[in-house]
Amino acid sequence: MQHIFNHCPNCKGGHLEYPEGNKIFCPDCGFVYYHNVAGAVAVIVQKEAKILLTERNKDPKKGFLDLAGGFVDAGESAEETCVRELREELNMAVDISKLKYLASAPNEYPYKGTLYNTIDLFFLYRDDSLEIENFDQMELKGFVWKKLSEVDIEMIAFESQKKVLALLKEKSNPE
């Protein structure tokens, strides 16, 4: 496990132990911290035969393609996160009843020197009349609509998304 603390957050001591997995222990004061997996969502927005891919305008993976989504806030359901993230990133009004859970996949998200392990929950949101007129230009450089068969998996920012999109491509084109 990556050493995320230089000092104990409780006693400020400098000796921390990382005995196993996600556990961090301070032998000086007995403080225990579990660096658990963070929840995140990714939404495959579908309009007719195409899906929406956003182009990242920030690191990590600036310039790569991504699915709309983000981290789950405290007290928020995964579906509520989908609604909030689509509103924030793409100015979309989402009918929460149209969200369909698809799959989950583990991921790693490096941010400012700390590696966050996530569990990414994937949802489908289909709206054939959807129009996106503006988006958060701080977060996104832009967006594109592509048929799943046209998606270059190597241009996708995160491994969890590559895995799920590849599985969906495989299911839609069985040999």
- Options 20, 131, 133, 154, the catalytic residue: 131
Dihedral (C-alpha) 105, 142, 60, 118: value to the nearest 10 degrees? -20
Neighbours of 25 (CB within 10 A): 17
Please state the separation of Cα 103 from the chain's center in Å.
Answer: 13
Task: Determine contact, residues 164/122, Cβ cutoff 8 Å.
Answer: yes
**What residues contact residue 168 under an 8 Å CB cut-off, 6+ apart?**
44, 102, 148
80 is known as an active-site residue: no
Neighbours of 163 (CB within 10 A): 18
**What residues contact residue 138 under an 8 Å CB cut-off, 6+ apart?**
57, 58
Neighbours of 120 (CB within 10 A): 23
Q: Catalytic site residues?
A: 131
